[in-house]
């Protein structure tokens, strides 16, 4: 079994999964985070999406028991396309998905539509340099606020080779309903 990257272990810890949550991971890759989260769920479910069919196939294989138990599911789709095929979630998170940071005008409206009002969005990033981590930590909160999210927390975790950051936001209770 391969070692879980520190940024993924940290992200799962930060999520503080509740057993009955509906969780969406954007850019789930081969399903490593899903494999850590699914065992924590009882009546909840985690759905992983990724644009790569190859990654989704690997995620499904890695998490076969969780899929069969109804605690996990996967779809080959983009964040924008997911709006058309998935019901809203309690928590949406992404690890190293640059579109949320670099193209917030495109990505955040879709994320907003995939969340229930008042629910959480967590954006994790461990870029190649400390400078990029600092840029993300400075710019992402403003982008989230511009798109109807209330920023709850900014976390920075020293990791190797560089620190990772997480912006925790909540969808404003008046936002999202008009987007349905």
What would the 3-class secondary structure string for 99-154 be?
A: HHHHCHHHHHHHHHHCEEEEEEEEEEECCCCHHHHHHHHHHHHHHHHHCCEEEEEE
Q: Which two tokens stand for residue 147?
A: 């798109």
Burial label, 14 (beta-carbon count in 10 A; 0-12, 13-18, 19+):
middle
pLDDT recorded at residue 2: 74
Low-confidence ranges of the chain (pLDDT < 50): 175-180
Burial label, 53 (beta-carbon count in 10 A; 0-12, 13-18, 19+):
exposed
pLDDT recorded at residue 177: 37
pLDDT recorded at residue 1: 59
pLDDT recorded at residue 16: 97
pLDDT recorded at residue 178: 38
CATH topology of domain 6-179: Rossmann fold (3.40.50)
């Amino acid at each position: 079994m391969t070692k879980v990257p520190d940024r993924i272990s940290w992200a799962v810890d930060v999520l503080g999964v509740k057993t009955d949550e509906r969780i969406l991971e954007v850019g789930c890759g081969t399903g490593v985070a899903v494999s850590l989260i699914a065992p924590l769920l009882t009546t909840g479910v985690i759905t992983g999406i990724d644009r790569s069919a190859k990654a989704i196939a690997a995620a499904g294989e890695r998490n076969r028991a969780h899929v069969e138990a109804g605690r996990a599911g996967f779809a080959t789709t983009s964040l924008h396309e997911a709006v058309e095929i998935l019901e809203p979630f309690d928590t949406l998170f992404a690890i190293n998905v640059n579109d949320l940071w670099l193209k917030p005008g495109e990505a955040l409206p879709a994320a907003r539509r995939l969340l229930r009002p008042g629910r959480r969005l967590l954006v994790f990033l461990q870029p190649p340099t400390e400078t990029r981590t600092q840029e993300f930590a400075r710019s992402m909160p403003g982008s989230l606020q511009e798109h109807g999210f209330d920023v709850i927390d900014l976390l920075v975790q020293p990791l190797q080779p560089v620190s990772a950051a997480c912006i925790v936001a909540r969808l404003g209770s008046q936002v999202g309903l008009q987007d349905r």
